[in-house]
């Protein structure tokens, strides 16, 4: 098993490796949530005299949410890789020109929708990662995907014959798709992205999209038929449209 080290002193106790809490039946401080990294979920271990056997509904619902939160954190780390995950531990260095953008991103909740765009290298990925971490700290499950990985997962989903498969983009309270518009448009890409966008926007679910392109250009790149670009653009602009300004941080100041 590959060791996954999470934050020992994470501000959200759910995301620490081990959590001790009280039994919902007898109140003794004797219930431990411990992570099962192979299954990417928490398991509850009871160590009290009452040995609670019957499911306790409020507790079961709470534990289920903890499991989803823990799983989304682990999967986010896997999808980001070493370098990008390191960004999660660093604050985004905002400038005066980006103060409003950073303030909006810091105040996002589980149902907010954002299209964040700007030229390459200004820190869109970093800001989206920091936003994801803040949402996780608040107990909001986040499904984080680079666009390329998201489309690859969608292809795997369509080919899978599992009875328990879940479409990518459906499991998190907030979905973040980073770098929209990088992939070459095809009928499959257009259909997957539009269906995901439509499902999120029409149901008022949390969504953060980052792109090097404006909403208009991103919509044009998303569709196989140019006649559908306006419909896509209207959905991309359904929430906050934010432009991150500045220079390419990867190359330094020019």
Give the mean pLDDT per block of 10 residues along the chain (254 residues).
Answer: 41 55 68 64 64 56 71 80 73 84 94 94 90 88 92 90 84 93 85 92 95 94 87 94 80 48
Are residues 114 and 70 located together in one domain of the fold? no
> Which among 81, 100, 123 is the end of a domain?
81
Are residues 98 and 212 located together in one domain of the fold? yes
Helices marked H in the chain: 57-86, 99-106, 124-137, 147-159, 187-202, 215-222, 229-236
Are residues 116 and 162 located together in one domain of the fold? yes
Distance CA 155, CA 83 (A): 26
Whole-number pLDDT of residue 39: 67
Whole-number pLDDT of residue 136: 86
Whole-number pLDDT of residue 92: 82
Q: Are 209 and 115 in contact (CB under 8 A)?
A: yes
Are residues 170 and 214 located together in one domain of the fold? yes
Are residues 182 and 137 located together in one domain of the fold? yes
CATH of the domain at 176: 3.40.50.300
Q: Is residue 1 situated within a structural domain?
A: no
Residue with tokens 């980001």: 80
Q: Is residue 251 situated within a structural domain?
A: no
> Which among 81, 106, 129 is the end of a domain?
81
- Token pair, residue 96, equals 């005066």
Q: Is residue 127 situated within a structural domain?
A: yes
Q: Are 200 and 112 in contact (CB under 8 A)?
A: no
Are residues 100 and 225 located together in one domain of the fold? yes
> Which among 37, 57, 81 is the end of a domain?
81
Q: Is residue 166 situated within a structural domain?
A: yes
Contacts of 14 by beta carbon, 8 Å cutoff, 6+ apart: 33, 66, 69, 70, 139
Question: Which residue range forms the structural domain that includes residue 230?
Answer: 90-243
Q: Is residue 250 situated within a structural domain?
A: no
Are residues 148 and 235 located together in one domain of the fold? yes
Total structural domains within the chain:
2
Q: Are 47 and 30 in contact (CB under 8 A)?
A: yes
Distance CA 113, CA 209 (A): 8
Q: Is residue 4 situated within a structural domain?
A: no
Whole-number pLDDT of residue 6: 43
Tell which residue, 184, 152, 5, 198, has the closest CA to residue 86.
5
Are residues 110 and 135 located together in one domain of the fold? yes
Tell which residue, 4, 246, 252, has the closest CA to residue 127.
246
Whole-number pLDDT of residue 133: 87
Are residues 231 and 108 located together in one domain of the fold? yes
Whole-number pLDDT of residue 254: 41
Q: Is residue 248 situated within a structural domain?
A: no
Q: Is residue 173 situated within a structural domain?
A: yes
91 backbone dihedrals φ, ψ, rounded to 5°: -70, 145
Q: Name the β-bridge partners of 207.
A: 113, 175
Are residues 179 and 77 located together in one domain of the fold? no
């Amino acid at each position: 098993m590959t060791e996954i080290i999470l934050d020992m002193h994470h501000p959200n106790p759910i995301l620490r490796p081990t959590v001790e809490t009280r039994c919902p039946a007898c109140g003794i401080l004797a219930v431990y949530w411990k992570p099962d990294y192979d299954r990417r979920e928490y398991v509850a271990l009871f160590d009290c005299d009452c040995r609670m056997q019957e499911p306790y509904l409020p507790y079961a619902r709470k534990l289920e949410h903890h499991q989803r939160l823990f799983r989304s954190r682990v999967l986010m780390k896997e999808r980001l890789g070493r370098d990008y995950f390191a960004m999660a531990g660093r604050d985004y260095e905002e400038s005066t020109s980006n103060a409003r953008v950073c303030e909006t991103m810091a105040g996002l909740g589980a149902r907010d929708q954002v299209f964040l765009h700007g030229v390459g290298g200004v820190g869109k990925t970093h800001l989206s990662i920091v936003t994801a971490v803040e949402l996780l700290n608040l107990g909001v499950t986040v499904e984080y995907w680079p666009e390329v990985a998201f489309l690859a997962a969608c292809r795997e989903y369509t080919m899978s014959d599992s009875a328990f498969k879940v479409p990518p983009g459906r499991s998190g309270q907030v979905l973040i798709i980073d770098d929209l518009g990088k992939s070459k448009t095809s009928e499959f890409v257009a259909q997957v992205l539009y269906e995901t966008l439509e499902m999120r926007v029409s149901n008022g679910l949390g969504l953060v999209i980052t792109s090097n392109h404006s909403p208009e250009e991103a919509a044009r790149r998303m569709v196989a038929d140019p006649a559908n670009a306006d419909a896509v653009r209207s959905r991309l602009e359904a929430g906050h449209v934010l432009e991150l300004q500045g220079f390419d941080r990867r190359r330094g100041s020019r």
